[in-house]
Amino acid sequence: MDRSRRNFCLGAGAAGIGAATLATMPAEAAQARQGGDAARRWAMVVDVRKCVGCQACTVACIMENDVPENSFRTIVSTYEVTEQGKTGTYMLPRLCNHCEDAPCIPVCPTGATHQRQDGIVVVDNTVCVGCAYCVQACPYDARFINHDTQTADKCTFCVHRIDAGLLPACVETCVGGARVFGDLNDPNSAVSKLNRETDPKVLKPEQGTQPRVFYIGLDPKFQGKVDGTPTLWRPAREKEHV
């Protein structure tokens, strides 16, 4: 069976499983928070003024989380923009926003996508059926179907590192110090101070998802649909030769 047909069959089967599960799973059970420390609320602040577009964060994430080829949990989107006759580039680091009101959670028919008590949104790939409902529900294009596992995948703030007392791989390797990670519930944490002192912005605020990834120096034109041309480094799988 070829790949396209196999994927179609998997999707059809997942849809059937999803419909049956939705009929029996209580809504509160699908959204119950599991694991993590309820006293914490992890968040990230990205200072786009410091991002140089080196993609060290992207590479570190791929290596740390064994992300399959041509898929990304985080990436720096680079755009060519023209304004008042002048052309320049704009860097926009992107990842899962770990929203307080995450739209990917209620659409998951098996409860595979859920939110921990510390706010981190994760996917249990032993339960996920690869239906991609969550991929479609995410307004930030931050999810994908892992071609190796055939399940949903995304940034988890490197939850395995967080639980071990370490920083996410992307934060640790950011050469410009553009990414800051910490506990919003701690008033003395760097992310709390930056949120108080810099009035950071979020992507697509009109969605009402309450993202927990904040941006310093974000041009309002880049909060929603980006009016620019992707350029410089735009990863794509090379065409296979027949």
Say whether pLDDT at 19 is over 50.
no
Tens digit of each residue's pLDDT (9 = 90 or more) over 82-122: 878 888 888 999 999 999 999 999 999 999 999 999 999 99
Give the whole-angstrom CA distance, residue 58 versus residue 169. 9
CA distances (Å), origin 101, targets 34, 59, 138, 185, 203: 15, 29, 11, 17, 14
Whole-model pTM above 0.85? Answer: no
In this structure, what DSSP letter does residue 168 have?
A: -
Query: For the chain, what is the radius of gyration of the CA atoms?
Result: 19
Q: Are 124 and 159 in contact (CB under 8 A)?
A: no
| Dihedral of alpha carbons 133, 134, 138, 142, sign | negative
Say whether pLDDT at 215 is over 90.
yes
Q: Give the whole-number percent of the chain exceeding pLDDT 90.
A: 68
Residues 6+ apart with CB under 8 A from 109: 17, 18, 19, 21, 22, 25, 129, 131, 133
Tell me phi and psi for residue 32, to 5 degrees.
Answer: -60, 135
pLDDT at 123: 97
Q: Are 91 and 80 in contact (CB under 8 A)?
A: no
Q: Are 78 and 62 in contact (CB under 8 A)?
A: no
Residue 15: pLDDT band with limits 50, 70, 90: very low
Residue 208: pLDDT band with limits 50, 70, 90: very high
Give the whole-angstrom CA distance, residue 33 versus residue 21. 19
Tens digit of each residue's pLDDT (9 = 90 or more) over 130-163: 999 999 999 999 999 999 999 999 999 999 999 9
| Dihedral of alpha carbons 158, 159, 161, 162, sign | positive
- Domains of the chain and CATH, by start: 3-218 (3.30.70.20)
Round the average pLDDT of the chain to a whole number and report it. Answer: 84
